[in-house]
Amino acid sequence: SSPEANIRKSIRLTAQMASATAACYRLKAGRELINPNPRLGHAANFLYMLTGQRPNQNHVRAFDIALILHADHELNASTFSARVTAATLSDLHSAVTSAIGTLKGPLHGGANQDVMNLLLEIGEVDKAAEAVREMLTNKEKIPGFGHRVYKTEDPRATHLRRLSKELGEDAGDIKWYDMSRIIEQTMMDEKNIASNVDFYSATVYNGMKIPIELYTPIFACSRISGWTAHLLEQYEDNRLIRPTGSYTGKTNLTYIPLEDRK
């Protein structure tokens, strides 16, 4: 495909990913599909197609910011997977499929879903600190903390923390925000580990009444713009990505015939 064709495909995929996510959710819930409203922007249209109601402008702004914050993050696992596929000169859609398959892995996608489930499980603000300490004592992982790149606070978490508070205040219920702040402080006190982008995105999406099962698909709706931007760059100046491997096993071994092996 030409560069121009790939740009057109990228724009379409960005729109289609959000539309498909909203449509699949409504089909699964047995609800009528909602066509996009041409008078609404990308973020507003997703919320409209998901709920069937014209979205609150504060929700639109918050969702737009969340999409931007999740759009790209250099060579994360799914983006690297997409670039490896594109480097073979496979087509753009196949490369995006590689990225989605990589995102399915729980070590890359799904952490914000785990965060919201943890908050729901704890249930009350005054139980948050003790619940986290008990999990740490039991060597359980607290979702939404630590990052391979950031050793201090994830700058994306800074913005999402503010949005979480604003959405809670708008709804007249800052319980989940307050609980998140206590968990965040407890993790700093106990482990000196800062929150990452997944931690506050959970309560941001919850503040917009987005179902938990859509948190990971929404990550794909956000990251599709980053994936395709990387792919356009890869195609423009392509080289096959072929990392080398170093053998670290035993050496100077004696060959043992198959029939003599235990």
Q: Quickly state the pLDDT bin for 1 (edges 50, 70, 90).
A: confident
State pLDDT tens for residues 68-99: 999 999 999 999 999 999 999 999 999 999 99
* Residue 108 annotated to the active site: no
Catalytic residue among 59, 70, 159, 198: 198
174 with 82, same domain: the answer is no
Question: Residue written as tokens 């506050």?
Answer: 200
85 with 130, same domain: the answer is no
Q: What is the pTM of this model?
A: 0.90
247 domain residue, yes or no: no
Averaged pLDDT score across all residues of the chain: 95
State pLDDT tens for residues 183-221: 999 999 999 999 999 999 999 999 999 999 999 999 999
Q: How many of the other CB atoms lie within 10 Å of CB of 103?
A: 22
Give the whole-angstrom CA distance, residue 22 versus residue 114: 21
Q: What is the pLDDT of residue 107?
A: 86
232's CB contacts (< 8 A; 6+ apart) are 3, 6, 7, 10
Average pLDDT over residues 111-134: 96
- The CATH number given to whatever domain includes residue 152 is 1.10.230.10
* Residue 230 annotated to the active site: no
Q: What is the pLDDT of residue 135?
A: 97
Name the percent of the chain lying above pLDDT 90.
Answer: 94
243 domain residue, yes or no: no
- Residue 198 and residue 192 in contact, taking contact as beta carbons nearer than 8 Å: no
Least confident of 50-59, 140-149, 187-196, 230-239: 140-149
Catalytic residue among 59, 70, 147, 230: 147
21 domain residue, yes or no: yes
Domain, as residue range, for 92: 3-105+224-236
Q: What is the pLDDT of residue 105?
A: 92
Question: Residue written as tokens 């609150």?
Answer: 56
Q: Quickly state the pLDDT bin for 148 (edges 50, 70, 90).
A: confident
Higher pLDDT: 246 or 148? It is 246
19 with 79, same domain: the answer is yes
Q: Output the CA torsion 241→243→244→248 (10° steps).
A: -160
Give the whole-angstrom CA distance, residue 187 versus residue 182: 9
